[in-house]
Amino acid sequence: MSRRLLSFMFIVGLLCLVGAVAMAKEITVAEEEARAVTGMEVEVSSLHHRLTIGPHIIDGDVGTRDQRWISQAADTEPWAMFMLPEVVTVDAVVLYSGMDAHDADPYIADTYVIEAMQGADWVQVARVEGNLSYRCVTAFPAVTANAWRIRFIKANNWVDAVDYRARIFEVRLLQVK
């Protein structure tokens, strides 16, 4: 990926924080890659097609159309859950979403919450609203957990909400280092 494209993705990624209930934090793509949690397993609420499977969202590919998860159309509040073999301390999540890898795409994830398992309960650590960016960085106070979940309240930016499907290229949990 060219430096120009990476710089553009970073700048536009900051747009996702407009309206987000989270802290603004600059995170470069290089820092994101260095801090990304590995060794996760993923479970998703539904599948649109047998090829649009959950493991695509943790495979490191942030923009190949055939390498993403798409939820089922009838799943009006899709979710993706990430399980880790041990607890990690995370202070940001980067989400890549949409139909194609660019901004101004009506299929970009609009509103979602990020949750961490605390004891036997899911606890909301951040909420994003009105996201317009293909790459959305959401920072929050550090939380330690071994299970994380993203629940999509409004899975895309369609005004008439005729299509509830989440279209997610990649999710990266960023651990505190």
- DSSP 8-state assignment for residue 8: H
Tell me the fold of 3-175. Jelly Rolls (2.60.120)
Would you state the pLDDT for residue 62? Answer: 86
Beta pairing class for 135-154 and 121-128: unpaired
Q: Which tokens in the block code for residue 125?
A: 């650590």
> What is residue 171's three-state secondary structure?
strand
Least confident window among 19-23, 57-61, 136-140, 164-168 = 19-23
Would you state the pLDDT for residue 133? Answer: 86
d(CA 29, CA 94): 10
Find all residues with CB under 8 Å of 121, minimum gap 6, and list them.
none
Would you state the pLDDT for residue 161? Answer: 55
Radius of gyration of the chain (CA): 15
- DSSP 8-state assignment for residue 103: S
Q: Is the sign of the CA dihedral 81, 132, 70, 111 positive or negative?
A: positive
Would you state the pLDDT for residue 22? Answer: 52
For the stretch 89-99, pLDDT in tens is 999 999 998 87
Q: Which tokens in the block code for residue 92?
A: 């940001």
Would you state the pLDDT for residue 80? Answer: 95
For the stretch 101-135, pLDDT in tens is 665 666 888 899 999 999 999 999 999 998 888 89
Residue with tokens 């960016």: 133
Map out the domains of the chain as residue ranges. 3-175
pLDDT class of 165 with cuts at 50, 70, 90: confident
